[in-house]
Structure 1
């Protein structure tokens, strides 16, 4: 069978593991192609189980849904590119808990492994003690993401011996790993192009940024920084000003009494993501929007802007518009902006009209807005000059019994530009697809998508 046909078939089910497993049973050619997708990403990530916590005989068994055990087989091991160990791993010690030994045994067999993610929520302190030294010998390993399970006092000296990395992510880095970080970055330079210090970064001080700067200033293209009350905006901006090749940036916002003295000059920045806690007042939103504007105002080539709210499920939801920020985007970044992710940020209908009218290169739009926003889309979609291909809309401030009119959805996708093929409203995704009949006639069909996710990239 032609491999081009097989690859085309598998393209439609690349994210559906059940369909891929069925494809693998068709014949040997399908088996080979499907197996490469089935075992590209191997995960051990048990969900929280109160009974397992209380079970003193828990051996730390591999979850039933994991493909880790079969990935051991010689025919599948070369296909593994990413290994993730996360979730609630049993804290029982060896020898009853054999997971540590299994991971260490598997790593050398995954000869083409490029990315390792060791970020369990619960675990035994020596879960990765035998695995960390093996990482040093993985020839193709270029991406590493770890948390305290690998960066505590006992394991940090070993993990920093890992070299050849191009992307390094440290979750909630503590003082020990940060003290070793300059030396580690010195060995990784100049290959390292991404450094992500994420989640609780309270130990990251101005001094830490100062000592790591010489090792990353000439190579870093992506940087992320989590929450640190030890840092003022000026501390972060001074650090960023010395990264001339920076293209992607993610920062965690928190309100500060003293405004920054200067704006960062990030002339090459392509993507900016801001994470923040839920805000409930007009002043909070205005201060946040002002902070975002200051961060991106000197980035003339901005392509992506994402606002990511870290609200808890029980947080009171307040829909306060970010229209002032949208106005800044319309005036300063309309000619370059391609992805606007306001999934957690409310946008008024007038601001939405301006974004649709002026941002001519916009490809992906995700917002929260009122129920009138569907009418705005219907009115403006046919005259838009942008190349929108995906719209995600979360309807807010609507009556409890409010239901989306299927006719409006159909009209938006039919009257929109030829590039617009995906529209998500609340939890439902619709797709527009061209079909050709046996007589050669083409028609546009609008229907709910089988994959109910609306990609932002």
Structure 2
């Protein structure tokens, strides 16, 4: 007879890989065998977010737990700091000390993420991480701090948020060091970044696969298209639009490998009585189509939730990319008409994930439109598109959509609700509900969806 203690430890670790959160902690209390099998998974990620910060120091931080039990440090692979406790409007120095000590003790960290401007006290510990491959930080650093951070020479995926001019001036030097490693470069809200510096940095990265330059005031879509001549292998591209009249480089840069495109639109009114022009979006689609890329995902974000994507743009997207699109995201905007949604769902024969505003009041018409897709598996609601709160998605509404769209397996709604298709004992449709707390997103909105 097989007992828990006789199950191979490797098998237990594979089983526990499907669990997360409090389930892991509960499993660790079952038996010594379960404890040994769950520990690598339980301490693989040190996550600290707002809910933890509110209870600190009454509840011990995961970094203090590592300091108290050094034998656990070997299991840590990922560090994700999304919030920092405060003391009298200042970051808690005790917490930062715990973080630094834990980082120094963990030899196998492969990814580090810190959303807050607290990286400087941790730079010394990061320099010792020989296996660090993924880095995302708030990069508002001084010159001395920037000189230290660019010593990290094994980064494969680099994300710099709110980077200062001190670090941007050193970016070409850093990318030169990372030339053989770096595959994804993301610069978000780097207001001091200019075309000259970015061009020098990209010249060092001919093998780059992902480039995401969003919210950088001095580098718009026209500048990006002039610079991607340095990166012919790009598979993912995110950019912010500028003035529609800005000329694009000719002949068009080769983007034949492009699979994921995200556009952050910054639209300006044509006149006091006319809506903002979307000609920049149309120009971008026309420009990339010259390379005949096979887009798998397309993401667009508008600056105003009350704006709609014109039917002409939807038709342009369908004409060029309908056969290959699997993921579509329309953030802070709506489609011009229901006919546009119907046409998209009918034409995109491989569509699996749709991120869009779900009009609860017109759910029947919406369901008919998305039922034109026989491959749609995941529907993500991105919130109401008016300033007044609307009705929330309920279980009955989800049932209507799943009955109308047989392929639909999951509906992700607001307030951390995830509805999934299930079957009751008689084989009839049942709707399961999972609630997850709303946390700061682990990735930027423009990054390719899994």
TM over 0.5, yes or no?
Answer: yes
Question: More deviation in 353-362 or 277-286?
Answer: 277-286
TM-score normalized with structure 2 length: 0.80
Question: More deviation in 264-273 or 292-301?
Answer: 292-301
**Structure-2 change in CA distance of 1:48 and 1:256 (3 Å):** farther
Distance 1:399 1:157 in 2: 48
Q: How far does residue 81 in structure 1 lie from its aligned partner after superposition? A: 1.3
Distance 2:49 2:387 in 1: 38
Aligned to 2:116: 120
**Structure-2 change in CA distance of 1:209 and 1:383 (3 Å):** closer
Distance 1:134 1:415 in 2: 54
Aligned to 2:278: 286
**Structure-2 change in CA distance of 1:9 and 1:87 (3 Å):** closer
1:86-131 CA distance string (max 9 Å, x none)? 534658999x93444433322232121001224424x5xxx634x4
SS at match of 1:87: coil
Counterpart among 117, 122, 129 of residue 138 in structure 1 = 129
Compute the RMSD of aligned alpha carbons. Answer: 3.8
Counterpart among 47, 52, 59 of residue 64 in structure 1 = 59
Aligned to 1:57: none
Contact persistence 2:338–2:366 (CA under 8 A): no
1:156-189 CA distance string (max 9 Å, x none)? 1111111111112222222222222222222221
**Structure-2 change in CA distance of 1:63 and 1:38 (3 Å):** farther
Distance 1:68 1:414 in 2: 47
Q: How far does residue 360 in structure 1 lie from its aligned partner after superposition? A: 0.3
Alignment of 1:410-449 (within 5 A): 410-417=399-406, 419-424=407-412, 428-435=417-424, 437=425, 442-449=427-434
Q: How far does residue 238 in structure 1 lie from its aligned partner after superposition? A: 1.3
Contact persistence 1:353–1:376 (CA under 8 A): no
Aligned to 2:78: 82
Contact persistence 2:209–2:235 (CA under 8 A): yes
1:360-384 CA distance string (max 9 Å, x none)? 0000011125457632454356663
Distance 1:406 1:47 in 2: 28
Distance 2:394 2:82 in 1: 41
**Structure-2 change in CA distance of 1:91 and 1:371 (3 Å):** closer
Contact persistence 1:289–1:324 (CA under 8 A): no
- Unmatched 5+ residue regions in structure 2? 442-448
Distance 2:315 2:109 in 1: 45
Alignment of 1:14-25 (within 5 A): 14=20, 17-25=21-29
**Structure-2 change in CA distance of 1:429 and 1:278 (3 Å):** farther
1:302 aligns with 2:295: yes
Aligned to 1:180: 170
Aligned to 1:58: none
**Structure-2 change in CA distance of 1:37 and 1:374 (3 Å):** farther
Contact persistence 1:274–1:308 (CA under 8 A): yes
Distance 1:161 1:229 in 2: 27
Counterpart among 333, 338, 346 of residue 357 in structure 1 = 346
Question: More deviation in 443-452 or 356-365?
Answer: 443-452
1:310-339 CA distance string (max 9 Å, x none)? x6xxxx742423433322221110111000
Distance 1:401 1:226 in 2: 30
1:59-78 CA distance string (max 9 Å, x none)? xx768374222133234212
Aligned to 2:445: none
Aligned to 1:391: 379
SS at match of 1:144: strand
**Structure-2 change in CA distance of 1:91 and 1:184 (3 Å):** farther
Distance 2:123 2:413 in 1: 45
Contact persistence 1:250–1:272 (CA under 8 A): yes
**Structure-2 change in CA distance of 1:406 and 1:232 (3 Å):** closer
Q: How far does residue 352 in structure 1 lie from its aligned partner after superposition? A: 0.6
Q: How far does residue 9 in structure 1 lie from its aligned partner after superposition? A: 6.4
Distance 1:48 1:425 in 2: 24
Q: How far does residue 401 in structure 1 lie from its aligned partner after superposition? A: 7.4
**Structure-2 change in CA distance of 1:376 and 1:79 (3 Å):** farther
Aligned to 1:97: 93
Contact persistence 1:346–1:369 (CA under 8 A): no
TM-score normalized with structure 1 length: 0.79
1:35 aligns with 2:23: no
Contact persistence 1:371–1:395 (CA under 8 A): no
